[in-house]
Structure 1
């Protein structure tokens, strides 16, 4: 028969009840924030904090659902004189497109389809 323990507070903001740890919302938010840091691995963060990686992924998903929707932002655009004439295919242009967002930078050269640029920007925003 398994013996149950009464909830005990532990210094790091978690409680142990039986074999499970109950973490405060602040503690969960701090661990989820560590996953958003550049180069962070969910598995490594989970291991460092004694959390199952699948449970941490659930916390991350819940935090994304509860977060307010992102606000639209204006991005700086630099327009230079067109060096090439409009290409023959509709929606494609010859030239160079530099996209920089959130520390990531992508340069597209040659024929650039506006749908591809839209997809890249959407991907960088994630």
Structure 2
């Protein structure tokens, strides 16, 4: 744990004034890759917002423009989705309903596609089968 008593001076209004060395040290630690500003501030006994203010002041004094830090590219892998085709039996369509159609359901990283005339009983049966397979 960091002890700040020797690095903090009392101000005229009773506010703590942190030494420039402490500010530089904490800002430098917070700028390391993977560093947690909140953890560093907690360890030093200060509010994380204060450390963010010091970081912003350092950036502005260095002539850097405010904005997001340098972007970091992360590795990405793409996997082919699993598809299950279910061809529903084709009962005669009720009057006023279209004769064909497709229903796609994305569930658990898989896609279920129902083609043709699909009635309530068929959808219910497919969903119950999926529930049983999970």
TM class, shorter-length? 0.3 to 0.5
* TM-score of the aligned structures, taking structure 2 as reference length: 0.41
Query: Which structure has the highest strand share of the two?
Result: 1
Higher relative CO (Cα under 8 Å, sequence separation at least 6) belongs to 2
* TM-score of the aligned structures, taking structure 1 as reference length: 0.43
Which is greater in Rg?
Answer: 2
